[in-house]
Amino acid sequence: MADVGIIGAGSWGTALAKLLHKNGHKVTVWSIVAEEIAMLKKEHEHKEKLPGVKLPEDMVFTTSLGEAVKGKDTLVLAVPSPYTRSTSHMMKEYVADGQIIVDVAKGIEEKTLFTLSQIIEEEIPQARVAVLSGPSHAEEVGREIPTTIVVGAKEKETAEYLQNLFMNEVFRVYISPDVLGIELGAALKNVVALAAGIADGLGYGDNTKAALITRGITEISRLGTAMGGRAETFSGLTGIGDLIVTCASMHSRNRRAGILIGKGYTMEAAMQEVKMVVEGVYSAKAAMALAEKYKVQLPIIEQVNAVLFDGKPADEAVKDLMLRDKKLENSELPW
């Protein structure tokens, strides 16, 4: 049995807390929001973010970061990506040398263009940092629907340890050394999912969705490999797998926000309606900055930025994508 601290009591942190408890581990869940912890202690259910998923009576809930971090075998960092740096900074004083932190959020920091694991390593250099990602909606993991994900870590022993920690009959865990590729696929697919939602909001159909998914993974792979990620990662669970589920499911906050934008909502109004952090909005500008830095073209992500931040009408963005210069589908294939 491991002693695990869950840092962040949103839907994903709550679902993983339930899973790890089911696997026989001792689980402590932390939130900075006192009302959230009070509700979890009383109801043993996150009524707002994961309704219907009952949590065990012996699970510990706390607003004390020290209690959630100190002495734990593993820490699961499950706060939304905009809060990764501030939360890591608060955690630093409690984290022991070599303590494992597995980040389960998805995003790129706009100011530094750091992935989330890079932020954690900068703020908590004494930790061993890993990531967990893949096509995995919290709503389904909480209900024990079969799910498959990937753990990425620099050290194989860390990845194998986490594989054993999380894996059970409904949650299959693969491992990979390509931490960068995993994180880039996870962050960038949220931006493409916004595009897929916008297309749905405009009333477009399956043809459009398939085009966005297919050309979207091409853009993700193009940037990801230019940055040093492995092509194999983008054709796997944290690339095309995560992109498919995020573009297709109404569990996806990015797709839901995109639908509202396609119907005429502003970005701010859409985020307010969804009532959860829409990670793709925070990663979209960073993606374009990375595209400029690495000199790659991201036409779908470029048009998403124009709609989100420049007030471009969504139907015009689609028209501009369709009328781009004629291209080969794959320039690597000989004629």
Q: What count of residues does the chain have? A: 335
Q: State the CB neighbour count (10 A cutoff) for residue 295.
A: 7
Residues with catalytic function: 189
Query: Which pLDDT score, from 0 to 100, does residue 278 have?
Result: 86
Neighbouring-strand partners of residue 30: 7, 62
255: phi then psi, degrees, rounded to nearest 5: -65, -40
Q: How far is CA 324 from CA 175, 176, 202, 292, in A?
A: 39, 36, 20, 19
Domains of the chain: 3-177 (3.40.50.720), 180-322 (1.10.1040.10)
DSSP 8-state assignment for residue 45: B
Query: Which pLDDT score, from 0 to 100, does residue 332 have?
Result: 82
Tens-place pLDDT, residues 106-160: 999 999 999 999 999 999 999 999 999 999 999 999 999 999 999 999 999 999 9
Q: Are the C-beta atoms of residues 279 and 115 closer than 8 Å to each other?
A: no
Residue with tokens 């940037």: 223
Euclidean distance between CA atoms 65 and 97, whole angstroms: 17
Euclidean distance between CA atoms 74 and 36, whole angstroms: 23
pTM, to two decimals: 0.94
| Identity at 302, one-letter amino acid code | E
Give the tokens for residue 146: 């079969």
Query: Which pLDDT score, from 0 to 100, does residue 15 have?
Result: 98
Query: Which pLDDT score, from 0 to 100, does residue 53 have?
Result: 96
Give the tokens for residue 43: 């109801």
Give the tokens for residue 209: 């969705």
- Which segments of 54-178 does DSSP mark as H helices, in order? 65-69, 84-91, 116-123, 138-142, 156-166
Query: Which pLDDT score, from 0 to 100, does residue 323 have?
Result: 84
Q: Which residues of the chain have pLDDT under 50?
A: none
Q: Are the C-beta atoms of residues 89 and 64 closer than 8 Å to each other?
A: no
